[in-house]
Structure 1
Amino acid sequence: MCGIAGWVAFDADLTRRGDALDAMTETMACRGPDARGTYLRTHVGLGHRRLAVIDLPGGAQPMTVTTPVGEVAMVYSGESYNFQELRDRLKGKGHTFRTDSDTEVVLRAYLEWGESVVDHLDGMYAFAIWDGRDQKLVLVRDRMGVKPLFYYPTPDGVLFGSEPKAILANPGVRKVVDTAGLRELFAQTKAPGWALYKGMREILPGTLITVDRGGVKERTYWRLRAQEHTDSREDTVARVRDLLTGVVERQMISDVPRCVLLSGGLDSSAITALAADRLAVKGERVRSFSVDFLGQEENFVPDEMRDTPDSPFVRDVARHVNSEHHNVMLDPADLSDPAVRRAAVAARDIPNGFGDLDNSLYLLFKAIREHSTVALSGESADEVFGGYPWFFHEQVLRSGTFPWMTVIPPLSLAGRTDHVEPGLRERLDVATYTADQYSAAVAEVEPLDGESEFDRLMRITCHLHLTRFVRSLLDRKDRLSMAVGLEVRVPFCNHELVEYVYNTPWAMKTFDGREKSLLRHAAAPVLPRSVVDRVKSPYPSPQNPGYAARLQEQVRELLAEPGAPLFAIIDSGWAKQTAEADPAGMSLAVRGGLERVLDVAAWLDLHSPELDLD
């Protein structure tokens, strides 16, 4: 797992611009604390920061191969879980290897198959290959978008990086944010290709981009396809179990300490139990980590998002699988620490407004990194198997917008926009934009011949979650974990598993009358009964009203500077009124607005962007 950056300029001599390449590369130091390297030629510069996970001594990058007709160089971020099988195939085709790293396997696979290399990879990755034979750059992102990659076209080439900060470090880039960028920021629809900064684009999942003297070309190499599902219910459960078992086994491969994230829910518990089984064969115990807040379990009260605390279920799983368990206990006061918020906003490059959810995840990952370098997560199971409560409310699914926006208070239209400066709010017209994005997202869904109207609705719903909602969660997970040099793997994003479950009829996904029936029955043999029967509960959030009160205090400090750039974006009247409200009765939507105000303030201070709000 690493950070990559680069620059291609066909009308310039980049050997004179090593300082700019170094500056871009160093912004990725948090993603790769173990080593750095650059590759600089006349028209190309590649930068790499390494987090050593596979083949610690041999996986240095950039990695190059010299051919009779030119040099081929690569910088790579992520993991290819089938690299051992690919190495054997490539050896059979005459390739020789200098290292044991998956990076060299991917580079050799490109030499063998060219751009079709993408059809042979299983994993989470983002990489760039400079093919000196054809004087072209190839940029690739994994199928589900687990690893991030951004690019910025220039008049004579392109800039790219794992994160926007790498591109912004190039002196030729203006940090301009206009109304188009802010519109999606507040809409939070995860519009394909959106990046906050003007001129910058996010490479879409399952996409390959080539850059040569003819310009930039984009090709989609993978997308969700509709296929008829013919397996019986019993065979489907067995297939899910086999796929997931194989995925977990492959994703446990590491030359550094690894662990699992355990929340006590079905998803993370299934990963924990399967990992424990695989390690037990080798005489090892799985290491697990959970997060909680001081006083949360003792004083827990069911709220609009959560029915049960996590801790009792975490303990059940840890005992059941005999894990080496660590409970990371956070003080809600730490979540409101401006330094923690600043670190989280810096990691994400955008003021996303997730507040305590981002801050606590950052602190959890930071604590885990003291013990492990790799962690497996249950992220994405709800999107793959249909686990959210709103999947079962047909009225919500027929509401004409993204379902989560009608259910999650901070993601309602009011939660996303009430705190925006009134004139800007009118110009952004987030409601119309969201409706347009919803229509575009629905139009991408490939129909299945003979599908009933209801099954078509559920296919659309699943597609929306797998191409919009989950991408936001994966980006959050990657940025906050890599900010502390922790690699988080997501077995439920295996593309074979996703394809298989996506095409399973909804009636089979819910055959026991509950959410995630296929996963529940596939994992039941290795889980305690309490977890098998548990109702879905989201990532924990502090319930202590003292947390909201601390947010209010910080907002009042911002209001002491009424002419600050913040109030070109944020409604000072809303901020003042909310900062004086009773924190004990504050809704999640309003508290989310306070989080956004503070995130925007931190982002402006970090980046000092040019605001074009006309």
Structure 2
Amino acid sequence: MSGLVGWIDFRHDLSMQESVIHAMTDAMQTRGPDAKGTWISQNAALGHQALIASEVPAEQPLQERIGAETVAVAVAGEIYNLPELAREIEGAGGVLKTGACPEVLLQAYLLWGDRCVDRVNGAFGFAIWDGRTRKLLLGRDRLGVKPLYYYEYPGGILFASVPKGIMANPRFEARLDLHMLPVALQPRLALPGETPLTGLREVQPGHVLTYTESGLTRRRYWQLTSEPHRDSFDDTARHVRDLLDDIVGRQLISAGPLSSMLSGGVDSTSIAALAVRRLRQDGADRTLDTYCVQFESDLAHFVATELRPDIDAPYAAAAAEYMGSRHHTLTATVQDLLDVIPATRKARDLPGWGQFDASMYLLFRQIRNNSTVALTGEAADEVFGGYPYFFKKDVFEHGHFPWLGDGPRLSRHLSPELTALIKPEEDELARYSQLMSDVPRLPGEDAENARMREIFYLGLSGPLAVILDRKERMSASLGLDVRVPFCDHRLIEYVWNVPWAMKSRGGVKGLLKAAMADVLPPSTASRKKSAYPHVQNPSYDRTLVREASWIVNDEASPLAGIFDTARMNGLIQQISANAIRSELPGGSNQAALLIQLVELHNWVDEYGVSLG
């Protein structure tokens, strides 16, 4: 984990802007607390904050002088195929001194230009400035595990791992794009690259951007390809297992102790068990530490739901004992969550997720006391089909996002003026239609598998981005690198083409269970799907209702005039009376519908975001 920033300006001398470059770089300090570096020239500047998590640390930004010009690179994240890539570079005539990540990437660029990214397996965002051609290259990993934002203005571009690096530059003004209110109020609706701030974009996953004096161009270097699946079920399960063995082995590279999130479910247990086995096979004198979160109020207030049928902690403890990890359980109170929510907003720089961010932040803070690198089983549900909606034909046969449910939408409670301007229902339909048009089709595929392919594609878009963003922002803000084996593109590419009947053979995530059968304890193998936990506590719910009511009715609120006050008060009263009977997004409780409203308000207020 680390953070990068940069500034290209073809009309002004950046060598006179050293203080601004340092301010931008310092904004990344929590992401990379171990080392800081900057490089400044007349038209280009790079900054980097490093977390020393790999076995081969390197100073960044890295520069190479070629003739009278400089090629400079900054990388945030990790490359998992460094040894193979290094051999390929040396075989092509390149020279490596350390074999560290930035050096390998720079030499790969010198050999293959922007096509170098096609050869990289990892989770990364990078920036390369080529002084010979006066060209900037920005690249992001295939699934968007690591973030990279940019802001283009006449004659220049700002970029950073997270928005605060760009916000530290006076050229950027934080303004909420009113047309993006539906996304600010339901982040799962975001299309790749979108943010609620005017002019602020993310480099899309699987893309490289090139910026020159002529402007910005984009190239998609990776996308899913649909083709017939020929392997038998047993061969498919075996190949999934082989891939996961290799992926986990690559992602275990660390300069210190290793940890893993462990809920006791199939996903996290699979990853942790493979990590324990690999450490033993390698003869490493290291123990895997595993971590789980529970809530103090679970005993009094937990109610089983379809998506969260039970509490993680007992299953996690049983799985840890079975595999032989050193296990830790964090017990969080409502006050613990409320105390760290301001820190979670600073971790994102964008509207957050309240308690969902807070519990993960607390868990990562405990992990960081022991480790700088951890593994997670997140994303398996999107890849293998773990959510209840995958098994509800009546839900996904309708032409809308299956994970949104049929409950109230905050965006449909905007003021009449904004509703007429934004048209939230039309906007939602347009987003759905856009993603449907992007689905890689398989000619001749039967109707059921074709529709399931669409459902998987929808899940690999907005919902996956929400999960990865939360994981990445909360961990990085604490100087922790959390790696996501299920987001290795080789696994995604393979499982994408496995027919639904094979993925679900034997029940929910049957294929994954078959692949991991020999390492899963009976309690995990037979456990129902249970999503990341959220606190069920009337005290927290009352806090949300109280804050939402104040925001909607206070004329001094920065959101005054955005909502239809009467309709919003009606919705808040329904929530307070627990009177909503619709299916809610994410399987959460009714009060959680108000989180985005509360967090939008606090973000606008704390960051001084203007509206319009």
> What band does the TM-score fall into relative to the shorter chain?
over 0.9
Show the 5 A alignment for 1:523-534.
523-534=516-527
The residue identity in structure 1 corresponding to 2:182 is: R
**Offset of residue 325 of structure 1:** 0.6
How many Å separate the matches in 2 of 1:175 and 1:242?
Answer: 46
Partner of 2:324: 322
Partner of 1:516: 509
How many Å separate the matches in 2 of 1:300 and 1:199?
Answer: 43
366 and 572 in structure 1: CA distance in 2 versus 1, 3 angstrom threshold: farther
More deviation, 76-85/159-168: 159-168
More deviation, 561-570/223-232: 561-570
Partner of 1:13: 13
Contact 1:73 1:130 in 2 (8 A): yes
Show the 5 A alignment for 1:420-499.
420-421=414-415, 423-499=417-493
Find 1:303's aligned residue among 297, 302, 305: 305
Show the 5 A alignment for 1:281-360.
281=281, 282=283, 283-297=285-299, 300-337=302-339, 340-352=340-352, 354-360=353-359
Partner of 2:25: 25
Partner of 1:548: 541
Contact 1:422 1:571 in 2 (8 A): yes
SS, match of residue 399 in structure 1: coil
How many Å separate the matches in 2 of 1:149 and 1:433?
Answer: 26
**Offset of residue 571 of structure 1:** 4.9
Deviation per CA, 1:302-329, whole angstroms, max 9, x where unpaired?
A: 1353111111211110110111111111
Partner of 2:232: 232
How many Å separate the matches in 2 of 1:299 and 1:175?
Answer: 40
Contact 1:126 1:147 in 2 (8 A): yes
**Offset of residue 248 of structure 1:** 0.3
Show the 5 A alignment for 1:31-430.
31-55=31-55, 58-68=57-67, 70-188=69-187, 189-281=189-281, 282=283, 283-297=285-299, 300-337=302-339, 340-352=340-352, 354-406=353-405, 414-417=408-411, 420-421=414-415, 423-430=417-424
**Offset of residue 583 of structure 1:** 5.1
**Offset of residue 468 of structure 1:** 2.7
**Offset of residue 52 of structure 1:** 1.2
Q: Percent identity?
A: 40
The residue identity in structure 2 corresponding to 1:451 is: E
**Offset of residue 424 of structure 1:** 2.9
Contact 1:289 1:326 in 2 (8 A): yes
The residue identity in structure 1 corresponding to 2:387 is: Y
21 and 13 in structure 1: CA distance in 2 versus 1, 3 angstrom threshold: same
441 and 418 in structure 1: CA distance in 2 versus 1, 3 angstrom threshold: closer
Partner of 2:584: none
The residue identity in structure 2 corresponding to 1:531 is: T
Partner of 1:409: none
**Offset of residue 99 of structure 1:** 2.7
SS, match of residue 600 in structure 2: helix
Partner of 2:583: none
How many Å separate the matches in 2 of 1:485 and 1:261?
Answer: 16
Contact 1:419 1:597 in 2 (8 A): no
Contact 2:61 2:73 in 1 (8 A): yes
**Offset of residue 70 of structure 1:** 2.5
Contact 2:604 2:610 in 1 (8 A): no
**Offset of residue 605 of structure 1:** 2.1
The residue identity in structure 2 corresponding to 1:255 is: A
**Offset of residue 580 of structure 1:** 6.7
Unaligned runs of 5+ in 1: 407-411
242 and 297 in structure 1: CA distance in 2 versus 1, 3 angstrom threshold: farther
The residue identity in structure 2 corresponding to 1:414 is: P
How many Å separate the matches in 2 of 1:559 and 1:120?
Answer: 51
Contact 2:78 2:123 in 1 (8 A): yes
Partner of 1:611: 611
SS, match of residue 414 in structure 1: coil
SS, match of residue 405 in structure 1: coil
Q: Normalising by the residue count of structure 2, what TM-score does the alignment of the two structures yield?
A: 0.94
Find 2:529's aligned residue among 520, 536, 550: 536
Deviation per CA, 1:328-370, whole angstroms, max 9, x where unpaired?
A: 1111222233xx2222122222224x22111111121122111
The residue identity in structure 2 corresponding to 1:331 is: T
Deviation per CA, 1:520-539, whole angstroms, max 9, x where unpaired?
A: 11111011011111111111
The residue identity in structure 1 corresponding to 2:365 is: K
SS, match of residue 219 in structure 1: strand
The residue identity in structure 2 corresponding to 1:320 is: Y
How many Å separate the matches in 2 of 1:200 and 1:295?
Answer: 40
Contact 2:315 2:524 in 1 (8 A): yes
SS, match of residue 565 in structure 1: coil
Contact 2:61 2:72 in 1 (8 A): yes
SS, match of residue 97 in structure 2: coil
SS, match of residue 448 in structure 1: coil
**Offset of residue 598 of structure 1:** 2.2
Deviation per CA, 1:424-480, whole angstroms, max 9, x where unpaired?
A: 344332211010110110111121122101111011111111133211211121111
SS, match of residue 96 in structure 2: coil
More deviation, 544-553/216-225: 544-553
SS, match of residue 525 in structure 1: coil
SS, match of residue 468 in structure 2: helix
**Offset of residue 68 of structure 1:** 2.9
585 and 266 in structure 1: CA distance in 2 versus 1, 3 angstrom threshold: same
SS, match of residue 403 in structure 2: helix
579 and 472 in structure 1: CA distance in 2 versus 1, 3 angstrom threshold: closer
How many Å separate the matches in 2 of 1:568 and 1:251?
Answer: 49
Contact 1:570 1:597 in 2 (8 A): no
SS, match of residue 567 in structure 1: coil
Number of aligned positions between the proteins:
602
SS, match of residue 336 in structure 1: helix
The residue identity in structure 1 corresponding to 2:157 is: V
The residue identity in structure 2 corresponding to 1:169 is: A
Q: Normalising by the residue count of structure 1, what TM-score does the alignment of the two structures yield?
A: 0.94
The residue identity in structure 2 corresponding to 1:115 is: D
How many Å separate the matches in 1 of 2:447 and 2:278?
Answer: 42
More deviation, 574-583/162-171: 574-583
Unaligned runs of 5+ in 2: 581-587
485 and 573 in structure 1: CA distance in 2 versus 1, 3 angstrom threshold: farther
The residue identity in structure 1 corresponding to 2:37 is: G
More deviation, 298-307/235-244: 298-307
**Offset of residue 543 of structure 1:** 1.5
Contact 2:192 2:205 in 1 (8 A): no
Deviation per CA, 1:170-193, whole angstroms, max 9, x where unpaired?
A: 111222222123232234312122
The residue identity in structure 2 corresponding to 1:389 is: P
SS, match of residue 524 in structure 1: coil
Contact 1:390 1:403 in 2 (8 A): yes
Contact 2:553 2:565 in 1 (8 A): no
Deviation per CA, 1:482-504, whole angstroms, max 9, x where unpaired?
A: 11111110000000000000011
How many Å separate the matches in 2 of 1:571 and 1:335?
Answer: 30
The residue identity in structure 1 corresponding to 2:535 is: P
More deviation, 602-611/301-310: 301-310
How many Å separate the matches in 2 of 1:594 and 1:462?
Answer: 27
The residue identity in structure 1 corresponding to 2:31 is: R
Contact 1:82 1:250 in 2 (8 A): yes
Deviation per CA, 1:17-50, whole angstroms, max 9, x where unpaired?
A: 1122122222211211111111100110111111
**Offset of residue 417 of structure 1:** 2.8
**Offset of residue 149 of structure 1:** 0.8
